[in-house]
Amino acid sequence: MHYVYEETNSLDDRCYTTFGLTPEILMEHAGLALAHAVKKKLTCKKSALFVCGMGNNGADGIVAARLLHGAYNVSLYLPFKIKSELAKLQLERAKKVGVIVVDELIDADIYVDALFGAGLNRPLDDLTCKLLETLNAKQGYKIACDIPSGILSDLTLSSVIFQANETVTMGALKLALLNDNVKDAIGDIKVANLGISRNQYETPSSLFLLHKSDLRLPFRIKKNANKGTFGHVAIVQGSKEGAARLAGMGAFHFGAGLVTLIGEKPKKLPIYLMNSETLPKNANVIVAGMGLEMPFDEVALKTLLLSNTLPLVIDASLSQHPLLCEIIASQKPLVLTPHPKEFSSILELTCKEKVSVEAIQANRFAYAKRFSLAFPHVVLVLKGANTIIAHNGELFINTYGTPALAKGGSGDVMSGMIGALIAQGYTPKDAAISGSLAHALVSRKFTCNNFALTPIDICKGLKWL
């Protein structure tokens, strides 16, 4: 996993004070990384237009144009008067080597957005919005310098955002690039080296971007084993019994030795799933909430969930029921797996805070972190285009999810998978991280039409991770 930052100005300042680097050195390396990205898409017959702003982000673009000029057909478009002293210096250098500055937005094969970067702290004016709309309508390949223009430093958005195929972000990963509402605008993210290694540039952070290598699959290393060695998952079955069945399938396919659905015996049950009306004595974890339609026997469910010390995975309907407050107050090990609407209900129940789904989606990180600090024994898995696993102030961001997972039942399977890992000895946090990663990566390995993925395909796909 890699660190993620809300801002990187402090990291730049550390380069100046600790390593003796200068803003100009960092800028030269930023321009070099941007030029390298552009060069990959250029041939002798193609052209690139750098659309540069008035500050240091614009200066990065000017440096890149200078580095490419002579070998490739590049030009600059400066829609605003240059203000930054470094930008003025870089423009003077670019002109001296012969870089062409055009006075209107011309057609090109590659468009580079170097207008604002991470420092944008105000909504864009109408003129700039029209410029971005025109750029977005162009057919060429689009690269953003640092952050696509229109994404503000406080994670809010302007009415128009540059739609990048690729973003070259400077120095380190920015949190603003990982929110759900910009996933369609950032393209592939590349992190540029600014003159020292990334390890030296970065300092510890409580925010992390997960990678495939962070997935810990429950491989069976121990040879002297039996089904009890790999845990027993108990899943509470609601009136919509199919949801519990999918959770059970997810748990079994992800390594649990035994899986029991608690409740009336369903009409159809996969032969590898068991059924019981009571909690099995050897259960290691309880998964509950999916398919649990209101009303239900609250007293019986409370006894089932709280009359023991077993860890819990809570999803769906229980996220919106007052019983959740008692579950959290019990201090039992707990994983919550809500989607944004369910998280809105959780915040109202537990924090007495009414927050709309729109507000949550606009700043998922702040709400997830605040909740995790309020309840440090709880692991929150906030589902979305980029799923957030939050625990005790730390956020782990999973960007591997695909639209193929946007179907009823997908979340039920993931809850079962997380329960399976807990049953096999993972901590709740590690189970949430690996369960979320495996769930997302399966969708990426699906080779058929992405609209056709089913929850059962997710279970089957776990065999091939």
Please check if 146 is assigned to a binding site: yes
Please check if 444 is assigned to a binding site: no
Please check if 118 is assigned to a binding site: yes
Please check if 119 is assigned to a binding site: yes
Q: In what order do the strands lie in the sheet with 285-288?
A: 173-174, 2-5, 207-209, 394-398, 387-391, 378-382, 334-336, 312-314, 285-288, 232-236, 258-262, 274-276
Please check if 180 is assigned to a binding site: no
* 308 Cβ contact partners less than 8 Å away, ≥ 6 residues apart: 279
Please check if 122 is assigned to a binding site: yes
Question: In degrees rounded to 5, what are phi and psi of residue 216?
Answer: -110, 105
Please check if 188 is assigned to a binding site: no
Q: What amino acid is encoded at 117 in this protein?
A: G
Please check if 131 is assigned to a binding site: no
Please check if 411 is assigned to a binding site: no
Please check if 14 is assigned to a binding site: no
Return the closest-CA partner of residue 420 out of 311, 343, 328.
311
DSSP state of 450: G
Distance CA 130, CA 122 (A): 16
Distance CA 313, CA 299 (A): 19
Distance CA 460, CA 374 (A): 37
Return the closest-CA partner of residue 208 out of 346, 41, 361, 2.
2
| Biggest CA pair distance of the chain | 82
Please check if 58 is assigned to a binding site: yes
Rg (the chain; Cα; Å): 26
**Taken in order 173, 178, 183, 185, is the CA torsion positive or negative?**
negative
Please check if 432 is assigned to a binding site: no
To the nearest 10°, the Cα dihedral for 106, 46, 138, 75? -30
Please check if 60 is assigned to a binding site: yes
End-to-end CA distance of the chain: 18
Annotated binding site for (6S)-NADPHX: 56-60, 117-123, 146
Annotated binding site for K(+): 57, 113, 149
Annotated binding site: 56-60, 113, 117-123, 146, 149
